[in-house]
Amino acid sequence: MAGLKSIFDQTPLKKLTLPNRLFRAAVGDRSPDGQVGEENLALYEKLARGGVGTILTGFTRVSAKEDNIFPIFALYDDSFLPGHRRLTELVHSRGALIFSQQVYVGSRMSKVFPDDASPEKREKTLFLSPSGTLSGDAGAQPREITAAEIAGVGDDFAGAAVRAKEAGYDGVEIHAAHGFLFSQFLTPLYNRRTDEYGGSWENRSRIVAETYGKVRAAVGPDFPILLKINARESGGQPEDLGDILAMAAKLDDLGLDGLEISGDWWEFSKDSPAYFLSEATRIAEKIKGAVILTGGLRTPGQMDQILNSTGIRYFGLARPLIADPGLVNKFKGR
């Protein structure tokens, strides 16, 4: 039928032309030293060849202070640039775009901290959280982050975003979901502060807005910036969507290019349909920026139906592309 949108449409995002409406949603990349390795490159080549239009990397550390927390990509200094340049050049040569997803982990992954870590390693590693509150899956007691450290985190994101741009990434995504530091700031479950970073929704989201501002100032007006947020928390409980809508509108006014709507996906069955559809639909009604829906998406027909009945513009696929990196080409019938 004439006029219907398709997941295979080419669409503009800032000065980019996205090859289709499908993103590879981020999946953690194992990298013991933070560098992009040969196994990582081989996987991303399969994804780029497989037809997905835009790839979000696994979350990437922005601070050397989190060196010991989790073995993932890093971009906190220039020593990591050569590997990331190889990665972006490889993906671009196969016709796909690639964004660097960036994160300050905080206390979320402290459960993986080894019990036999040396005293020196324990001394160096900082598990930071909004209020020093022990999360349900933490394995070490976090410390409450100070206001000065909050400013430093924003600077770390800005520096990593500049390096991502230098390395050839097409944009960045700030990770504020899944219980990482920014996600903990956004929920009163973990944010019990009484200063300007706690209490009201405006205060709890201040760290995100300030960090976005620093990143935007660092990379300029034409470099796309996305943000990943939770629509649901642990136990499948909805967030206060009024609060999320308020933050989305504020960031939209500041020029954020898009929001990826996610949540605690592990609470859902692999057969559950479009996990966060209702929340993403409401958010898309309120902002000008792009909304990316991630979780529970399986078929082109399902996504086309959502695309043509809501304001959601893009779709993130994670587990389907773990199972088959070439799935999008199969969607096309190639």
Element holding 90 (H helix, E strand): helix 81-93
Q: Which of 104, 64, 287 is nearest to 207 (CA)?
A: 104
| Lowest mean pLDDT segment, chosen from 12-16, 39-43, 183-187 | 183-187
Q: Which of 301, 276, 305 is nearest to 291 (CA)?
A: 276
Average pLDDT of the residues in 292-311: 96
Does residue 4 form part of some domain?
Answer: no
Does residue 144 form part of some domain?
Answer: yes
**Nearest 5°: phi and psi at 290?**
-75, 145
Which CA distances in Å does 202 have to 5, 24, 33, 187, 198? 36, 31, 37, 12, 8
Query: Are the beta carbons of 88 and 75 closer than 8 angstroms?
Result: no
Partners of 315 in the beta sheet?
A: 22, 293
The whole model's pTM is what? Answer: 0.93
Number of domains in the chain: 1
Say if residue 2's pLDDT is above 70: no
Tokens 């990316």 belong to residue: 292
Q: What is the pLDDT of residues 149-172, one digit of tens each?
A: 999 999 999 999 999 999 999 999
Average pLDDT of the residues in 16-27: 98
CATH number at residue 122: 3.20.20.70
**Nearest 5°: phi and psi at 306?**
-65, -45
Does residue 321 form part of some domain?
Answer: yes
Distance, in Å, from the CA atom of 82 to the CA atom of 131, rounded to the nearest integer, reads 37
Long-range CB contacts (within 8 A, 24+) of 115-123: 117/68, 121/68
SS3 139: coil
Higher pLDDT, 142 or 270: 142
Does residue 3 form part of some domain?
Answer: no
Torsion-angle region of 76 (φ positive above 0: left; ψ -120 to 50: alpha; else: beta): alpha
Does residue 1 form part of some domain?
Answer: no
| 74 contact partners, CB below 8 Å, separation of at least 6 | 31, 34, 35, 60, 61, 62, 64, 67, 80
Does residue 169 form part of some domain?
Answer: yes
Does residue 108 form part of some domain?
Answer: yes
Which CA distances in Å does 8 have to 14, 130, 132, 281? 19, 41, 45, 20
Query: Are the beta carbons of 323 and 30 closer than 8 angstroms?
Result: no
Q: Which of 210, 92, 46, 186 is nearest to 130 (CA)?
A: 186
Q: What is the pLDDT of residues 199-211, one digit of tens each?
A: 999 999 999 999 9
Element holding 92 (H helix, E strand): helix 81-93
SS3 116: coil
Residue numbers of the domain that contains 258: 11-331
Does residue 191 form part of some domain?
Answer: yes
pLDDT band at 235 (very low <50, low <70, confident <90, very high): very low
